Amino acid sequence: MLQVAVVGSGPSGVYTAQSLVQQDRVPGVRVDVIDRLPCPYGLVRYGVAPDHEKIKSLQNNLRTVLEHDRVRFLGGIDIGPGGFPVARLLGLYHAVVYCVGAAADRKLGVPGEDLPGSHSATEFVSWYSAHPDAAADGFVGSGFVGGVESAVVIGVGNVAVDVARMLARGVDELRPTDMPQAALGVLAESRVREVHMVGRRGPSQARFTTKELRELGSLPDTEVIVDPAELALDPAYADPSGLPAAGRRNVEVMRGWAERPAQHLPRRIRLRFFLRPVAVSDAVGRVGGVRFERTLPDGRGGVTGSGQYEDIPAQLVLRSVGYRGVPIDGLPFDAGLGTVPHLTGRVLRAGAASPGEYVAGWIKRGPTGVIGTNRPCAKETVQSLLDDAPALVQRDVPDDPLSALRDAGLRPVEWQGWLSIERAEAELGAALGRGVVKIPDWAGLLAAARGA
């Protein structure tokens, strides 16, 4: 019987497991879904913003897969450097599918980006999502509470929209979410009044989706401000009819905002375009703002510098310029693309498909697309794996890989352990007079998983 390990329990990993157990070409496939964390769901738990309850409820669909008879969740197992080696894992299963996502953030490569007060959006997201690797004092020690009135978010993708919206939310809107208590306390005291979200190209080239963009305009006490003259630098602004549908809808939303009279609300999100970051400026050892060069469209979808500069003062800078895949020790890696080289999901070693090794999700195709994009991506990989199955099952593997993992000294958090964490988070929330509240640290998660 075909035994498969899926490494990573985010959407791509769970959709891979689902495709494997819901097909009938190779009956009876067994799947272990392994995760480094004791909690499943990857970026659905640790990336989707806490106020996006509807998207988070996708966890219920993913749960059904992880509770399938022939699927097991094995949390708390680190594969790769310092953890369980890739080669040994392949010895325990007929096939291993890596669905590890893109864990790092891209750098800007400008002076000052590592100054105190300048963070990657990923750090901020991890902190308010209670990721156990997020720095314990998170944004408390960075001066976030004291004195931040203006924040700059660099990038105009959906992550930028998420962090801008979280900065603009009031405590009453955040309390009903599952965000950790400490982060809620910090954001409750936030004095942020201006959030500048800045793109280096034009409004028609912004990467955010229209639903997410439109939501910014419906935040209580927050006004979205756009400068029609700046938007009009984009040739497609005056007549967006030739744009792809997503770009056209985005431009239409922004045109609506440009025509609206000022509302003078307490908080403002300023959408800015054609500004390329050149330095994060230093105000006595910490962030004082960002220097941008004004850009101009080059007529080919890109921009050129104009030699004119603008400084936006800010005490907090969030760099939201995309994720980047991280190499897994023992697997090939294309450092330029930040992905594992593959052919329809089969890992390529020196240009040839490596028997039994596969990839799906962001580590396969790069950090693009919405959650649903992972479904066809996983399906393609599973088709390749099933095509290879007759050869793969010829190799002897242990009857129960879990015993072998335990013999190697690992103590996986199984499904019951995760259910204990869920119960502990519900109890924590009840004790705080809130709904479910996430546990933000390794010790707390592992204690809850072991029923302590």
Residue 315: closest CA among 124, 145, 109: 145
Number of residues engaging ligand NAP in binding (CB under 6 A): 25
Residue 363: closest CA among 384, 388, 341, 385: 341
* Among 32, 113, 162, 230, interactor with ligand NAP by CB under 6 A: 162
Considering only residues 392 through 451, tell me which ones interact with ligand NAP, judged by CB under 6 A.
Answer: none
What is the number of other CB atoms lying within 10 angstroms of the CB of residue 108? 21
Residue 342: closest CA among 370, 362, 322: 362
First to last CA, the chain: 37
For the CB of residue 105, give the shortest distance to ligand NAP in the complex, in Å.
Answer: 8
200 binds ligand NAP (CB under 6 A): yes
What is the number of other CB atoms lying within 10 angstroms of the CB of residue 397? 18
Q: Tell me which stretch binds ligand NAP (CB under 6 A): 28-36, 136-144, 152-160, 334-342.
A: 152-160
Query: Per DSSP, which regions of 314-450 are E strands?
Result: 316-319, 323-324, 342-343, 346-349, 352-359
368 binds ligand NAP (CB under 6 A): yes
Residue nearest to ligand NAP (CB): 157
* Among 14, 26, 108, 216, interactor with ligand NAP by CB under 6 A: 108
For the CB of residue 30, give the shortest distance to ligand NAP in the complex, in Å.
Answer: 31
- Shorter beta-carbon distance to ligand NAP: residue 306 or 403: 306
157 binds ligand NAP (CB under 6 A): yes
* Among 59, 158, 354, 383, interactor with ligand NAP by CB under 6 A: 158
154 binds ligand NAP (CB under 6 A): yes
212 binds ligand NAP (CB under 6 A): yes
**Residue 447: is it exposed, middle or buried by C-beta count within 10 angstroms (0-12/13-18/19+)?**
middle
For the CB of residue 77, give the shortest distance to ligand NAP in the complex, in Å.
Answer: 26
The C-alpha atoms of residue 342 and residue 147 are separated, in whole angstroms, by 48
- Shorter beta-carbon distance to ligand NAP: residue 257 or 274: 274
Considering only residues 297 through 336, tell me which ones interact with ligand NAP, judged by CB under 6 A.
Answer: 320-323
For the CB of residue 102, give the shortest distance to ligand NAP in the complex, in Å.
Answer: 8
196 binds ligand NAP (CB under 6 A): no
* Among 42, 80, 101, 155, interactor with ligand NAP by CB under 6 A: 155
* Among 31, 148, 156, 347, interactor with ligand NAP by CB under 6 A: 156
Residue holding tokens 């010895």? 91
184 binds ligand NAP (CB under 6 A): no
For the CB of residue 20, give the shortest distance to ligand NAP in the complex, in Å.
Answer: 25
159 binds ligand NAP (CB under 6 A): yes
Tokens of 327: 């190499």
Tokens of 107: 């750098």
SS3 130: coil
113 binds ligand NAP (CB under 6 A): no
CA 230 to chain centre: 30
Helix, strand, coil percentages (3-state) for the chain, rounded to 5, are 35, 20, 40
146 binds ligand NAP (CB under 6 A): no
- Shorter beta-carbon distance to ligand NAP: residue 212 or 357: 212
Q: Tell me which stretch binds ligand NAP (CB under 6 A): 112-120, 189-197, 368-376, 430-438.
A: 368-376
Count, residues in the chain: 452
90 binds ligand NAP (CB under 6 A): no
The C-alpha atoms of residue 92 and residue 398 are separated, in whole angstroms, by 6
Q: Tell me which stretch binds ligand NAP (CB under 6 A): 28-36, 79-87, 194-202, 344-352.
A: 194-202
For the CB of residue 25, give the shortest distance to ligand NAP in the complex, in Å.
Answer: 31
Tokens of 200: 């280096």
Residue 371: closest CA among 47, 19, 104, 96: 47
For 355-388, letters b (16+ CB in 10 Å) and e give: bbbbbbbbbbbbbeeebebbeebbbbbbebbbeb
SS3 388: helix
Q: Can you give the binding site for ligand NAP, defined by CB under 6 A?
A: 108, 154-160, 162, 199-201, 205, 207, 209, 212, 277, 320-323, 367-370
